């Protein structure tokens, strides 16, 4: 990508495609002290009130900056990097490549919690790791009750659900979810029946006195790529057919229709929803249903395969943060008579981790 000047016009070129940058686009980005608030970066003017026939009077292009003056008397100095970044139509997060992993993954890149941790370079590294692998484990988190709320809100804001601001994961009588039992949980994503689905889940271990109850994770991205390569017909139908996900208890009925594998506008991986106890496939032609059921069975086999699942035991003070759009999680069974297994959980959304990552990148000039 590059920027060129010719006859008082600015041109942007990318992979052989050359386009003129509209003068008004540049005028909207005038960034002097009288035009933009330093702290918030919000405009101090309304661009809809500018005159329409904005023209460029003078231009100067260096390796790093574009200096522009306009016919309304204003001028600005813009960084070339920021202009190119806007034209690439991406953000800092999309530059972080996902790393596919399976059961051979051994190095979890744990991060130890410290004072003022959320403003340290280690927090930036942890968030990069989170976006690469879909999860990160923080060690030595204070195990006082409800500390997960303080932790989550130090990154962004908690996403409250009908389970509350946070929820206690432990065996209890008359549960409204199988998570609150000692039964094993197969790989699944949380809350597939919501619109939108909570993006990120946190689980903070307070007590774990049982011999079982190991946490399990599967990389839905890795499995999806495997399905796309080896079973393209299965992949295709799982990305096209919307199924109904439903949750029912005494106080609420939650439903949403979505594909089991959701792609973004460019046809790339965006999200998986998988919870066989909660999905209802729509009525379709018999042949199409045959294909869909075969596809669902195959992806379930992959999710539950020893080839893709990792298992580990959370100990008191561990906090697991995982991408609920990408990863499936579960647990092995345990005997509640052995002792207490007590985890506290909550949800946050992507804007929390994205905002914190961009803030720390700016802070440390990364």
Domain containing residue 48: CATH number: 3.30.2020.30
pLDDT, residue 12, reads: 87
Name the pTM for this structure: 0.87
DSSP per residue over 241-268, as a string? -EEEEEEE-SS-EEEEEEESEEE-TTS-
Statement to judge: residues 261 and 137 lie in one domain: yes
pLDDT, residue 63, reads: 87
Statement to judge: residues 164 and 65 lie in one domain: no
pLDDT, residue 174, reads: 61
pLDDT, residue 181, reads: 65
pLDDT, residue 307, reads: 98
Give the DSSP H or E segment for 361.
Answer: helix 350-363
Confirm whether 95 is domain-assigned. Answer: no
- Report the percentage of the chain scoring pLDDT > 70: 96
pLDDT, residue 83, reads: 86
- Which DSSP category does 164 fall into? B
pLDDT, residue 177, reads: 59
pLDDT, residue 106, reads: 92
Q: What is the mean pLDDT for each group of 10 consecutive residues in the chain (366 residues)?
A: 85 85 94 89 92 91 92 92 78 87 94 96 97 98 93 96 90 58 86 96 95 95 98 98 94 96 95 95 96 98 98 97 98 89 95 95 92
Give the pair of three-digit tokens for residue 156.
């962004």
In whole angstroms, what is the distance from residue 25 CA to residue 353 CA?
Answer: 29
pLDDT, residue 6, reads: 86
Residue of 219, 167, 169 lying closest to 198 (CA atoms):
167
- Domain total in the chain: 2
pLDDT, residue 269, reads: 97
For 221-236, write each residue's pLDDT tens digit. 999 999 999 999 999 9
Statement to judge: residues 272 and 138 lie in one domain: yes
Residue 67's domain comprises 2-87
Domain end position, chosen among 87, 122, 146 = 87
pLDDT, residue 335, reads: 87
């Amino acid at each position: 990508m590059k920027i060129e000047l010719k006859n008082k016009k600015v041109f942007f070129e990318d992979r052989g495609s050359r386009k003129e940058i509209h003068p008004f686009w540049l005028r909207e980005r005038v960034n002097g002290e009288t035009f933009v608030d330093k702290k918030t970066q919000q405009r101090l003017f309304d661009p809809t009130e500018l005159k329409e026939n904005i023209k460029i009077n003078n231009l100067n292009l260096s390796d790093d900056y574009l200096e522009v003056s306009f016919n309304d008397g204003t001028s600005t100095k813009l960084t070339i990097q920021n202009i190119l970044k806007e034209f690439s139509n991406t953000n800092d997060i999309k530059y972080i490549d996902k790393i596919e992993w399976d059961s051979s993954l051994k190095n979890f890149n744990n991060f130890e919690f410290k004072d003022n941790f959320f403003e340290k370079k280690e927090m930036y590294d942890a968030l990069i790791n989170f976006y690469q692998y879909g999860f990160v484990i923080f060690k030595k988190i204070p195990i006082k009750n409800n500390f997960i709320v303080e932790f989550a809100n130090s990154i962004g804001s908690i996403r409250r659900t009908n389970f509350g601001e946070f929820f206690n994961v432990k065996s209890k009588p008359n549960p409204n979810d199988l998570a609150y039992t000692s039964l094993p949980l197969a790989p699944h994503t949380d809350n597939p029946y919501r619109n939108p689905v909570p993006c990120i889940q946190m689980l903070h271990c307070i007590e774990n006195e049982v011999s079982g109850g190991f946490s399990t994770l599967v990389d839905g991205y890795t499995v999806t790529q495997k399905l796309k390569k080896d079973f393209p017909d299965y992949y295709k139908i799982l990305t096209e057919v919307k199924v109904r996900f439903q949750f029912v208890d005494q106080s609420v009925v939650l439903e949403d229709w979505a594909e089991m594998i959701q792609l973004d506008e460019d046809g790339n991986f965006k999200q998986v929803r998988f919870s066989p106890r909660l999905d209802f496939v729509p009525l379709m032609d018999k042949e199409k249903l045959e294909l869909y059921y075969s596809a669902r069975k195959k992806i379930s086999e992959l999710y539950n395969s020893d080839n893709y699942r990792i298992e580990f035991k959370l100990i008191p003070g561990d906090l697991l943060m995982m991408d609920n759009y990408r990863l499936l999680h579960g647990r092995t069974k345990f005997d509640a008579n052995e002792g207490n297994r007590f985890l506290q959980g909550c949800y946050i959304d992507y804007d929390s981790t994205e905002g914190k990552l961009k803030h720390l990148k700016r802070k440390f000039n990364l």
